[in-house]
Amino acid sequence: MENFKFKKEFGQNFIFDGNLLSAIVSDAGITSDDEVLEIGAGAGTLTKKLCEKAKKVVSYEIDKNLTEHLYEIQKQNQNLQVEMKDALKENIDEIEKHFSGNYKIVANLPYYITSPMIFKFLEQTQRVSSMTVMVQKEVAERFSAKENSKEYGIATIMINYHADVEYLRTVGRQMFTPPPNVDSALIKITPANKEKANNDEIFALMVKTAFSSRRKTLSNNLSKLGISKSDVDNAIGDFGKPPTTRAEQLSIHEFILLSNKLQKFVKI
Ligand code: SAH
């Protein structure tokens, strides 16, 4: 590892601090019954800590330059399986072959794949019991935002439509090698059986369009979908919201009601 060259294109910001690594494993609630998927092993520092607690750890890493180093760690840990592959491209069935039942995800993810990675596991499988992931602080704030705040938006609604999100701890940029330009936060995403709209695709489109211009009213934004303002105003009036309402003033439940009422006007 001495001569290792960190690669920006792989989002490589490693953690070497033992206290932080232990805190991540403990926040994830890993016990000797757990099978764990780690995405982005890097130098294997978190991997080793996970192996101390878990029944089994499967660790994906895209950077072939880390192969020898990670295979060496695998040799020393009977419960570790290293996969030198792109976890984002890997078929979910292929990943899940390694596990006997449900599994937990723990990852210090590269920032640019945070959302695709999280939504891949939220949308394509029921077998993930929790995801404890390090993300950019701003992303963590958006995921855990409350209504009527400037952080509340598409990301908040789309993740909370599938899961509960807990903001665990802020992690300063100086904790990483090399330090990134932003601070991070550890969050725990717990998939849950939540209320769903009649049509997920229309729901997603409606949420996206409702927030397309944050200063405009809901009915103004939704008119982009060809829905008349009076239809929107009637629909939100049914749950007591005035025509001046903006997207950030609607709860997820209200977005679901709205989507179900207006779906007949939307072509997809
Ligand atoms: N978990 C380590 C490394 C974090 S940096 C630590 O905490 O120190 C993120 C790691 O993810 C890097 O090693 C990077 O090479 C790897 N990575 C980036 N994209 C990936 C992908 N699509 N699949 C698997 N690993 C990936």
pLDDT tens for residues 113-149? Answer: 999 999 999 999 999 999 999 999 999 999 999 999 9
> SS in 3 state form for 106-157?
EEECCHHHHHHHHHHHHHHCCCEEEEEEEEEHHHHHHHCCCCCCCCCCHHHH
Residue 108 and residue 131 in contact, taking contact as beta carbons nearer than 8 Å? no
Name the residue with the closest Cα to ligand 1, atom 20.
62
Whole-model pTM: value is 0.94
Q: Is 62 in the pocket of ligand 1 (CB under 6 A)?
A: yes
Q: Give pLDDT, residue 109.
A: 87
Q: Is 44 in the pocket of ligand 1 (CB under 6 A)?
A: no
pLDDT tens for residues 223-256? Answer: 999 999 999 999 999 999 999 999 999 999 999 9
Q: How far is the CA of 136 from the centre of ligand 1 (A)?
A: 14
* Closest ligand 1 atom, residue 47 Cα: 1
Q: How far is the CA of 165 from the centre of ligand 1 (A)?
A: 22
User: What is the sign, positive or negative, of the torsion defined by CA atoms of 79, 85, 86, 92?
Assistant: negative
Name the residue with the closest Cα to ligand 1, atom 11.
40
Q: How far is the CA of 10 from the centre of ligand 1 (A)?
A: 7
pLDDT tens for residues 215-232? Answer: 999 999 999 999 999 999
Q: Which residues pair with 134 in a beta bridge?
A: 108, 186
pLDDT average, residue stretch 91-112 = 96
